[in-house]
Amino acid sequence: MTAHSVQRPHALSIENLSLEFPTYAGAVKALDGVTIKVGNAEIVGLVGESGCGKSVSTMAATRLLPEGRYKITQGSIRLFGRDPMAMDEEELQQVRGKLVSTIFQEPMNALNPTIRIGQQLVSVIRRHEALGRKAAEAVAVNILADMLIPEPARIMQAYPFELSGGMRQRVLIAMAFSCNPGLIIADEPTTALDVTVQAAILRLIQGRARRTGTSVVFISHNIAVVSQICDRLYIMYAGRIVESGPTRAVLDRPQHPYTRALLRCLPERVRPKEPLESIPGTVPNLLDPPPGCFYRPRCPEADARCMEKPHSTALPGGQAVSCWQRAGHPSHPSSEVPS
């Protein structure tokens, strides 16, 4: 085997992962056979309603779930080929921030309101890089400028509460990229922002990731948001991956009824004054999920076969779907989603 034929490990590899949270009422089966692959320098989206397991998947991978409060019943996780479950606390602290960084949804919860922006940035940089204070301050100013923050030297002296929501989110992105990690997990970082600021934040994440070769996992309930920056998509429902594939293929040829339902709910598809479409029903109770396909109680296409759990079917073009209706039927009419 030549040096050129050796494949680098995925930035993130979650393989057939099942995870549950023990409670007095029983085990909440949060993840059921989840497989997610994120290649090097790849931007991948995780999409689904709240409670579908998007954040749990990535928090398990970085061991941010409360220790002793969850149980992995099968499967494996690898971060750049390493098993985070086998790491001690010191190794984990080195991985978090240096190898893997997270951009959280609410910047006021992620930033300490009593400490100046510059001090928080410099602290993160010096924790993972062998730099003196002056050198770390220079790195912090440069990366704030790279995030298109005006007067970065002045912002270094500001407290988080003195900045707008969009500006605080840019600071969090700067913090995530400050130590040149190999993987960034962006957990719904634009949900609380208006549309104009949201678009700017997406461009910043995508642009910086492309320039530095950083892999990104972008978590969102909004398929239109992730479609703007992601190379591939995973559609999650009730702790399972129901569809995956290249972004354009999933948007143009959605195979799972849940994917098509998410696309129909996009505001871009509705004319002014027309009511927004919604998906009837709710995500099932994962203490006692229904038999077979979890989407069956809400699915207009369900039949008797759906009482059995569907297997993932590989389709042309890199797509895969877990649905009895699509097994053996690799094409479906386009949903005509706006680009």
pLDDT one-digit tens code per residue, 273-307: 888 888 888 899 999 999 999 999 999 999 999 99
The pLDDT of residue 107 is: 67
The pLDDT of residue 7 is: 59
Between helices 133-146 and 165-177, what is the axis angle to 10°?
Answer: 120
Question: Left (φ > 0), alpha (ψ -120 to 50) or beta: where does 213 sit?
Answer: left
Cα–Cα distance between 218 and 295 in angstroms, integer?
23
Enumerate residue ranges in the chain where pLDDT < 50.
1-6, 330-339
| pTM (two decimals) | 0.89
Residue 92's H or E segment, with its range, is: helix 89-94
The pLDDT of residue 327 is: 60
Q: Which domains does the chain have, with CATH numbers?
A: 3-230 (3.40.50.300), 231-339 (no CATH)
Instruction: Please say whether the beta carbons of 121 and 175 come within 8 A.
Output: yes
The pLDDT of residue 192 is: 67
- pLDDT tens for 197-242 read 788 888 888 999 999 999 999 999 888 888 889 999 999 999 999 9
Enter the tokens of residue 262.
Answer: 């998410």
The pLDDT of residue 3 is: 43
* Beta-strand pair 26-38/43-47: unpaired
Enter the tokens of residue 204.
Answer: 């910043």
The pLDDT of residue 333 is: 46
